[in-house]
Structure 1
Amino acid sequence: MTDIEIAKGINLKPIGEIADSFGVSRDELELYGKYKAKLPLHLIDEEKVHRAKLILVSAISPTPAGEGKTTISIGLSQGLNRIGKKATVVLREPSLGPVFGIKGGATGGGYSQVLPMEDINLHFTGDFAAIEKAHNLLAAIIANNIQSKKNNIGLDPRTITWKRVMDMNDRSLRNIIVGLGGSSSGIPRESGFDITAASEVMAILCLASGLNDLKERLGNIFIGFTFDKKAIYARDLKANGAMAVLLKDAIKPNLVQTAEGTPAIIHGGPFANIAQGTNSVLATKMGLSYSEYVVTEAGFGFDLGAEKFLDIKCLSSGLSPHAVVLVATIRALKYHGKMPLADLKQPNLEALKAGFVNLEKHIENIKLFNICSVVAINRFVSDTDEEVDFLVDYCKHKGIQVSVADVWAKGGEGAIDLATKVVKTVELCNSRFIPLYDWEWTVEKKIETIAKKIYGAEAVDYTSKAKASLRKVYSLGLDKLPICMAKTQKSLSDNPELLGRPKDFIITVRDIEIAAGAGFIIPITGDIMRMPGLPEFPASESIDIDNDGNIIGLF
């Protein structure tokens, strides 16, 4: 059965019943139909937040299809409820680009899904649309200010890097010329589109502590310089108030449910290879306010999403995880053992063994933060018993807590062992989260620490463009911000071809971007695609709707 067929066979509970089990009065819900609701921010209880247990789900370096962090996160939350713990799963919202592109939706799979999956994977409660509009409002205000004769603050169009965004994969919009058509149409200049998930407004929404903080962060968005070299921010254009108005509902977390009726909060969706790659601070705190355990995830491998979750999200919000679940798959380990992608379903113990080095590095990285971990083997139908036993024996020999999870086929039942081991780890392991670096360090030292300790690089090199951008960071007084590395998810290095555990490589920083509103610096390594293109045969070709309104082909 497909994910959508399984979803259609599940009887959803009205969202009021989910609110009851979550512990929130139905009168507090802002309803979006029968099965979705927004939660007002005043429900967050900071005292309860720090009493609950936060579990971070990450992964080894993934294959192009991903290793099932979302599915494991959902299954684990269901498993925790099955062993008597009140648990909630808190996740990111899917982007329409991957839904209609190559990767599909991001609502889990099988009997470990968040529902209604069609709504969540499509327009949901309109959060992405609001973020898109707020971002593009600022773009329009910038263009209008440049054009204006009376309200022009002297912005130098050559210094403006703020593009527009759209939640769709469309490679033809990556680089465009705006302002053509004569003087009444604006000032011609180079620009382009990013996908909405890569917007700084998305990153801001997911780090904001409330409406006032949201407005302040929006005002801190760096726009460019005037002709006399004065720095200009969104607040100088009086844009942040109107932008916040567009986000007044989008800032509220969304309540839905899993396939087993476990409360699920879905909110925000920044990419992990250009932003922090995790759901909003407000969503996480909302879950912690009403649960014993909150299971959340960070995008891609531990080297990307999890490092940013810990060094950016946790430090800026006061959150602290109690354990990490590291998702590993047989296919990903064989991939890092240099087995061709097309052959990963074939048994191969030698390739599996060769790929263990990638798992080892991620385990070492978790220990750098002084957090205890459990490895979750996300079992696929193609995995043989011999391969699974081989991986389990390896982990046990290395003293690594390990559990085989079959949550796609069995839901929470397939995660009971994992849930039990997670609870035991939290109760017995006296781990205290330690950040990797101090925000007060120099930008270079922070970048070098991430590159050497997390990626395993020998050194960091800077292009002349990156050095010039670095000088700009210091001149603006933004050098005390944390680092949000933009790097490929396919490798621990900045070269997607270097699989396994590469060594003796140099990380090259090509440029450094400023996300002053979000509150971090973005060193750009490799070729980071912020407006993906559709594949030759996009998923959209298989998606349809019948006369009764039933959606076909969504996954």
Structure 2
Amino acid sequence: MTTKRTLPSDLEIAQQAELWPLTEVARQAGLPAEHLIPYGRHAAKVDLGVLDEASGRPPARMIVVTAVTPTPLGEGKTTTAVGLAQGMAQIGERAILTLRQPSMGPTFGVKGGAAGGGYSQIVPMETLNLHLTGDFHAVTAAHNLLAAMLDAHLFHGNALNIDPGNISWRRVLDINDRALRNVVIGLGPKEDGVTRQTGFDITAASEVMVILSLCSSLADLRARLGRIVVGFTYGGQPVTAEQLGAAGAMTAILRDAIQPNLMQTLEHTPALIHAGPFGNIATGNSSVLADLVGSRLADYVITEAGFGADMGAERFFNVKCRVSGLTPSAAVLVVTVRALKTHSGRFRVVPGRPLPPEMLAENPGDVLAGADNLRKHIDIVKGFGVSPVVAINVFPTDHESELEAIREIAEAAGARVARSTHVVDGGPGAAELARAVVAACQQASEFRPTYALDEPLATKLEKVAVQVYGADGAELSPQASKDLKRFEELGYGNLPVVIAKTHLSISSDPKLRSAPTGWTLPVREVRAAVGAGYIYAICGDMRTMPGLGATPAAQNIDIDETGEIVGLF
């Protein structure tokens, strides 16, 4: 078993940190001070003019941090990404980190924020997890403005002939609130609006959030917002935000939000925090603009994709890389002993509860029993022509024999492998991982997406199901087939696809562990995110508005007598 050290809480570590002025962080990154727009003492917007100024520089090498299929407790992708960025500095390499901004829903719920952990964090963590520079609020406002203008259009005569029973645009809020999943609006007297059923999603699930993450300029943002489809007419024609006259005002609301946010790690590595789309129903990646800014400044850009390689990394490769034009050089696959033990099917892990005692006992056989999940994720990365590096996120409860079992599994599957103790040791604990990543980036790669954009939508779905998930195929419901036919007739056939499914299994069934075979992906329905620029298939029951548990994290958050925030992880 590794040496156990008692660490202060994440918040205590963050509040004890000595932060550099952001001008110094920017200087280390090669970012001219005139491109910084300060938001308080330790966060700043980055003026997009830097893209023109640094246009002649060769782009950095892109590294995406992904993981095996996560347990309900998570495997530490964000923490590993932060640790790797710090580890790069330890070995003398210039790296910039690009991450999603945390949603306040999970922050006040059960999962916690996304600032990293231990001695591999983004700081100040309170700023990151609570509001930051207001981007999420801007997305919420822009989204809800469109909803309000849609309902006002219905109230004032419905000149566009919109079918109230075929409206897809709901409202959003950045708080977990199950009571708002399904609501009826327009109750009361006639002047209170048209009565209809709708609901709320969490802001991270908004198409506006995905648009913010995928746009490449202010003009591109404006064009994408205009293409948002909010519903259909009685004749089956799409109704857009442009037709409702909302896209211009939405762009004005998001004018500042389009600029990435500069922060720093505990070891002063520059971090660009921007956008925060959901990982199971959307792209689950930070912004294209943050990657483009980072690629013009550093030698390496380290970014994180949501959930496992079958989810966020697949969308990073098939959607985000196409938009950014950046080619990935390596992929880091985060794995833990507890994850592979969970995928053995021998243990039950429940969020908020201690791990079963027998799971903590030394037993490399339990690790080997779940090894097919790691092998499958390595195959997924290699299938894109990208070099995989398996990062073993070491916990104090791990045993040497179990860590060696993971090493043997990864090397036999053709991946580089490195242990990382970044949580307790910060950058020095990730130096081995950093060296492995640099070596992987020096290896020639032949990046290849799963499908060509001119292939039929059904073929794209089938290829992701078979080549990425390992399914025997995809089975379309009659409704899904009808949806695909209609979208192709409307001219959306050349868009990439996103498959909304569970993150708890490579398959569409959250109960299937390891690397399931002999199954078929069921496609229930298909929807169009035309502004974001993709078609997404619904393959399971995903909540777009989470609920709070019986004892949410919000109950522990407060301020002390000096005004400092306490209880935030």
Fold equivalence (TM over 0.5): yes
Task: Map Cα deviations across residues 124-183 of structure 1 (whole Å, 9 max, x no partner).
Answer: 00000000000000000000000003x732211111110000001111111111111121
Instruction: Say whether 1:363 aligns with 2:378.
Output: yes
Give matches, 1:434-473, under 5 Å. Answer: 434-473=448-487
Matching residue of 2:3 = none
1:411 maps to which of 426, 434, 446: 426
**Does the CA-based 8 Å contact 1:74-1:112 persist in structure 2?**
yes
The Cα shift of 1:49 comes to 6.6
In the alignment, structure 2 segments of 5+ residues that lack a partner are 1-7, 350-354
Matching residue within 226, 244, 269 for 2:276: 269
| Structure 1 residues 123-142: aligned runs within 5 Å | 123-142=131-150
Aligned to 1:72: 80
Equivalent in the alignment of 1:202: 209
Query: How many angstroms apart in 2 are the aligned matches of 1:49 and 1:187?
Result: 55
Q: How far did 1:50 drift?
A: 4.7
User: Which one of the candidate residues 55, 62, 74 is aligned to 1:54?
Assistant: 62
Residue deviations 1:487-531 (CA, integer Å, cap 9, x gap):
110001110000101111111111111100000001001111100
SS in 2 for 1:495: coil
Q: Helix, strand or coil for the counterpart of 1:143?
A: helix
Match for residue 523 of structure 2 among 501, 505, 509: 509
SS at match of 2:145: helix
Question: Could you state the TM-score of these two structures normalised by the residue count of structure 2?
Answer: 0.95
Secondary structure of 1:383's match? coil
How big is the shift at 1:472? 2.3
2:124 is matched with 116
- Asked whether the 8 Å contact 1:405–1:414 carries over to 2, the reply is yes
Q: How does 1:119-198 map to 2 (within 5 A)?
A: 119-149=127-157, 152-198=159-205
CA contact 1:545–1:551 (8 Å) conserved in 2: yes
Equivalent residue for 1:88? 96
Give the Cα separation in 2 of the matches to 1:531 and 1:360: 33
Q: Which amino acid letter does the alignment assign opposite residue 228 of structure 1?
A: G
Selected match of 2:502 from 482, 488, 494: 488
Determine which of 6, 25, 41 is the counterpart of 1:18.
Answer: 25
Residue equivalent to 1:230: 237
Deviation per residue, 1:212-254 (Å, 9 max, x gap): 1001000000122222333211111111000000000000000
Corresponding residue for residue 262 of structure 2? 255
Could you say which residue in structure 2 is the equivalent of 1:281?
A: 288
The structure 1 segments of at least 4 consecutive aligned residues displaced by more than 6 Å after TM superposition are none
Q: Pick one of 524, 534, 541 that aligns with 2:555.
A: 541
1:382 and 2:397 correspond:
yes
Identity score, percent: 46
Q: Give me the TM-score of the superposition, normalised by structure 1.
A: 0.98
Query: Aligned to 2:374, what secondary structure does the other structure show?
Result: helix
Deviation at 1:553, TM superposition (A): 1.2
User: 2: CA distance between counterparts of 1:368 and 1:393?
Assistant: 21
Q: Is the Cα–Cα contact under 8 Å of residues 334 and 348 in structure 1 kept in the other structure?
A: no
Quick check: 469-478 or 305-314, which moved more? 469-478
- RMSD across aligned positions (CA): 1.3
Contact kept? 1:205, 1:251, Cα under 8 Å: yes
**Relative to 1, partners in 2 of residues 1:397 and 1:53: Cα closer, same or farther, differing over 3 Å?**
same
Q: Which of 497-506 and 457-466 deviates more?
A: 457-466
* Aligned partner letter, 2:299: E
C-alpha separation between the residues in 1 aligned to 2:227 and 2:486? 16
Does the CA contact (< 8 Å) of 1:115 and 1:256 recur in 2?
yes
Distance change in 2, residues 1:147/1:153 (3 Å): same
What does the per-residue CA deviation read over 1:416-451, in whole Å, with 9 as the maximum and x for residues that have no partner? 111111111212x10021111001110110000000
Inter-CA distance 379–397: structure 2 relative to 1 (3 Å threshold): same
Q: For the residues of structure 2 that align with 1:391 and 1:467, how far apart are their CA atoms?
A: 42
Asked if 1 retains the 8 angstrom alpha-carbon contact of 2:57 and 2:296, the reply is yes
Aligned-residue offset at 1:84? 1.0
> Which structure 2 residues correspond to residues 313-352 of structure 1 after superposition, within 5 A?
313-338=320-345, 339-341=347-349, 342-343=355-356, 344-352=359-367
Distance in 2 separating the partners of 1:96 and 1:320 = 32
- Separation (CA, whole Å) in 2 of partners of 1:185 and 1:381: 59
Total equivalences in the alignment:
553
On the 8 A contact 1:281/1:317 being kept in 2, the answer is yes
CA distance, structure 2, for counterparts of residue 266 and residue 397 of structure 1: 36
Task: Provide the C-alpha distance between the structure 2 equivalents of 1:96 and 1:399, rounded to a whole number of angstroms.
Answer: 39
- SS of the residue corresponding to residue 498 of structure 2 reads coil
CA apart distance, 1:391: 1.5
1:106 to 114, 125, 133: 114
Aligned AA for 1:484?
V
Look up the SS of the partner of 1:461 in the other structure: strand
Matched, 1:550 2:564: yes
CA displacement, residues 60-114 of structure 1 (integer Å, 9 cap, x when unaligned):
0000121111111111111111111111111000001111111001000011000
Looking at structure 1, the residues matched to 375 and 105 of structure 2 have their Cα atoms a distance apart, in angstroms, of 33
Question: Residue 390 of structure 2 aligns to a residue in which SS?
Answer: strand
The answer (yes or no) to whether the contact 2:387–2:415 under 8 Å persists in 1 is: no
Q: Structure 1 residue 47: deviation in Å?
A: 4.0
- Cα deviation for residue 48 of structure 1 reads 5.3
Q: Does 1:424 align with 2:439?
A: yes
Shift of the alpha carbon at 1:14? Answer: 1.3
Farther off after superposition, 198-207 or 381-390: 381-390
